[in-house]
Amino acid sequence: MNQLINKKSQTGFTLVEMSVVLVVIGLILGAVSIGKDVQRNAEYTKLKQKFIDQWATAYNEHYARAGVVLGDSQTAPRFMVNGAAYTAGGTKPISGQNMKDETAPVAICEGAALMPVSTPPRPAPLLELHTRMDRLGIRMPPGRAEGSEDRYLYLDSNGNPQEVQVCFQWNKPTTPSGSGNVMVIGGLTPELARELDQMIDGKPDAQEGVFRQETILNGTSGVPGVEWGANNTEIYGGTVSTGGVGTTVGPNLDENQVITVVAHYKMNQ
């Protein structure tokens, strides 16, 4: 009797039981991996709704209350962001002058640290975004904190922190990303830029629609556009090019931040 009990107690797992355990482990690992992607997609949607959309609303609210866009003159409006500082062309009226040869007024931001170097170089902005909104009692998105409403923190695909920053500027005619008043959005990883473009324009095209990549020329009508420059395999600090390919600076390891791009989001006013 004791021999039967000892023999039964020494019986191990069967192959079927081991297979079931391995399948369950695989399902758990897969669910964790998928869950991370779902969580990141939800965070990107939140970023658009709670930050990008709310800054567009704040910009439109400024126009509704002041009758002019951000930084424009109320007595002699030019319908330009920071239009009050537009002096190129002297006393010429807007109609009849070749504005593509003029110098656009500088952007209005709250800080410039996160806006990368551009080609041509981006002039130093006016650091007055917070003040100009406060003057009209306009509620800004909460952003990171009081005084940093122009910034939003998120995690990239490596789990490292990245920071989005917004500015507003007027693009003169012949600007690659399109002319008119735009929200400049820096600090976007390529996947975040594509997802925002998909949500705003319906497809991730860097040169078409109201959401475009900075410096990307608008293409010929009737032909396919271009992909957003760079991808998530490239390290922060790399040179962004077009067609989904950038210049990698070192290997993109888990401890590295992902490369970022700059977008121009055309405003209604």
38-51 per-position pLDDT tens digit: 777 899 999 999 99
Task: For residue 10, tell me if it sits in a domain.
Answer: no
Task: Quote the pLDDT of residue 255.
Answer: 78
Segment 177-204 shows an average pLDDT of 93
Task: For residue 90, tell me if it sits in a domain.
Answer: yes
pLDDT for residue 93 is more than 70? no
Task: For residue 14, tell me if it sits in a domain.
Answer: no
Better-predicted residue by pLDDT, 36 or 60? 60
Q: Which residue has the tokens 């032909």?
A: 223
Task: Quote the pLDDT of residue 232.
Answer: 82
Q: Which residue has the tokens 């800004």?
A: 140
As a residue count, the chain comes to: 269
User: What are residue 136's phi and psi, to 5 degrees?
Assistant: -100, 5
pLDDT in tens, 218-231: 767 777 788 888 88
C-alpha 116/C-alpha 260 separation (Å) is 9
Better-predicted residue by pLDDT, 36 or 193? 193
pLDDT-derived band of residue 4, with 50, 70 and 90 as boundaries? very low
Global pTM?
A: 0.81
Task: For residue 5, tell me if it sits in a domain.
Answer: no
pLDDT-derived band of residue 70, with 50, 70 and 90 as boundaries? very high
Task: Quote the pLDDT of residue 14.
Answer: 78
Task: For residue 227, tell me if it sits in a domain.
Answer: yes
Segment 191-214 shows an average pLDDT of 93
Task: For residue 11, tell me if it sits in a domain.
Answer: no
Farthest CA pair distance, the chain: 111
Q: Quote the number of domains for the chain.
A: 1
pLDDT-derived band of residue 15, with 50, 70 and 90 as boundaries? confident
pLDDT-derived band of residue 112, with 50, 70 and 90 as boundaries? confident
Q: What is the DSSP string of the chain?
A: -HHHHHHHHT----HHHHHHHHHHHHHHHHHHHHHHHHHHHHHHHHHIIIIIHHHHHHHHHHHHHHSS-TT--SSS--SSTTGGG--TTTT--STTS-GGGSPPPPPEES--TTS---SSPPPPPEE-HHHHHHHTTPPPP--SSTT-TTEEEEE-TTS-EEEEEEEEEEEPTT-TT-SEEEEEEEEE-HHHHHHHHHHHHSS--TTSSSEEETTPPP--TTS---PPS--TTSBTTPBP-STT--B--S---TTSPBP-EEEEEE---
Better-predicted residue by pLDDT, 74 or 89? 74
Q: What is the domain range of residue 195?
A: 35-266
Task: Quote the pLDDT of residue 64.
Answer: 95
Are the beta carbons of 177 and 193 closer than 8 angstroms?
A: no
Are the beta carbons of 225 and 79 closer than 8 angstroms?
A: no
Better-predicted residue by pLDDT, 197 or 112? 197
Sign of CA dihedral 203, 207, 211, 215: positive
Task: Quote the pLDDT of residue 166.
Answer: 96
Task: Quote the pLDDT of residue 249.
Answer: 53
Task: For residue 17, tell me if it sits in a domain.
Answer: no
Better-predicted residue by pLDDT, 196 or 177? 196
Better-predicted residue by pLDDT, 26 or 58? 58
Q: Which residue has the tokens 């080609």?
A: 119
Task: For residue 155, tell me if it sits in a domain.
Answer: yes
Better-predicted residue by pLDDT, 221 or 235? 235
